[in-house]
Amino acid sequence: MPDSVSEQKTLYVVVCAAGPASDVGTLVDLAQEQGWTVQVMATPSAVSFIDVEALEKQTGRPVRSQHRAPGDPRSPKADAIIIAPATFNTINKLANGIADNYVLDVVNEAIGLGVPTVILPFVNSAYASRTPFHMSVEKLRSEQITVLLGPDTFEPHEVGDGSNKTKVFPWKETLIKIQHKAQNTKVH
């Protein structure tokens, strides 16, 4: 079976406030090439990391970071979700069912519905060494969420801005993972 999407499906690309956020257009391009309709969602903190106008032009859809006003159109339902870059903060909150912003509301519910989800963290080694973080990653994996963290996928960066790792952030590999997962998952 080819990796590309045979019918038009919606991929939520959820962006958190970490270095690679400014390059999320790369993932949007790759996903659109594979036939996905892309809905970009940003945490409130991530809004200042991204070029909202450019992403809206690229996707033809508003970037969502808060609940819509009455009368605004709904976002299409997610067939799959990528959270990239995922922060220490959002990973810990999501693992513990905290929904204190729009993106977390949406993703917590989608996970409960069985929407295939892949998380690509961008964290430094200090954050990654924390016990709560290990527990969060384990909890998310126990809910069948793919967390691309580790020697075979993507490693934490040294404390600092992580700019050397930003250049090798695996957008393409993450898209391939979600495509495989979406093909093999039945949403409730």
Ligand X SMILES: Cc1cc2nc3c(=O)[nH]c(=O)nc-3n(C[C@H](O)[C@H](O)[C@H](O)COP(=O)(O)O)c2cc1C
Binding interface with ligand X (CB under 6 A): 16-19, 43, 45-46, 87-90, 122-123, 127, 162
**Residue 34 or 52: which CB sits closer to ligand X?**
52
Residue placing its CB nearer to ligand X in the complex, 8 or 96: 96
C-alpha angle 162-165-167 in degrees, rounded to nearest 5: 120
We find the least distance from the C-beta atom of residue 73 to ligand X, in angstroms, to be: 24
Which of 17/178 has CB closer to ligand X? 17
Are 90 and 104 within 8 A, CB to CB?
A: yes
The distance of closest approach from Cβ of residue 137 to ligand X in the complex, given in angstroms and rounded to an integer, is 13
Q: With respect to ligand X, which residue has the nearer C-beta, 80 or 123?
A: 123
The Cβ of residue 91 has, within 10 Å, a number of other Cβ atoms equal to 24
Nearest-approach distance from CB 24 to ligand X, in angstroms:
12
Which residues fall within 8 angstroms of residue 144, CB to CB, at 6 or more apart? none
- Residue 67, number of CB atoms within 10 A of its CB: 11
| Contact status, residue 28 vs residue 13, Cβ threshold 8 Å | yes
